[in-house]
Amino acid sequence: MAGRECYHCKRWVEDGEIHDCWMTTEAALTRDLSEDLREAWERLRETAVALGDQRIYASHHSIMFSRQSCYFFVRPKRNFLELCVFLGRELRAPQVRRVDRASKAKIVHFIRITHRDEVEAPVIDWLREAYEFADAEAAKPAAKSKAAYRPKAKRKASQIC
């Protein structure tokens, strides 16, 4: 039969078949989790839902939690859940595996969760802080670029030819 191999997921796609491997569901991403990881995932989701109004959706290999923009996401892996939390400050804690600057205002923190008991303080406090930071960040007026205020440099007579 005629078809092609998807260059993202390497799955064979028949001609005319609708295929979007970037779109997925929470159920599909959490289907193969061990019991410990499933309990940890459920605790993370319950904690996030309790924070307040937000959008929860699956995208490619992650489950995103957002208000105006994403404030944290979870990547389910075989042996752990990779929790990525966006804050306005850098955390220094043993739970934080890696820290990267995501933008001028946001710093992303990578945390490994292997058991439900790890979804306690301070992780819950960081999620709450990220939720509130996302709200505060959205409330700020859009910053105008500094380039708009810089006067153009005057050319010297020797540069004009």
C-alpha to C-alpha distance for 59 and 100, rounded to whole angstroms: 21
Each residue of 15-24: pLDDT tens digit? 877 766 666 7
pTM of the full structure: 0.73
Take residue 148 and report the two structure tokens written for it.
């708009």
For 143-156, the pLDDT digits (tens) are 555 555 555 555 56
* Separation of alpha carbons 57 and 15, rounded Å: 28
> CA-to-CA distance for 90 and 110, rounded, in angstroms?
11
How far apart (Å, rounded) are the C-alpha atoms in residues 24 and 58? 6
The closest alpha carbon to 47, from 97, 108, 113, belongs to 113
Q: What is the pLDDT of residue 144?
A: 57
The average pLDDT across 22-33 equals 84
Asked whether the predicted pLDDT for residue 160 surpasses 70, the reply is no
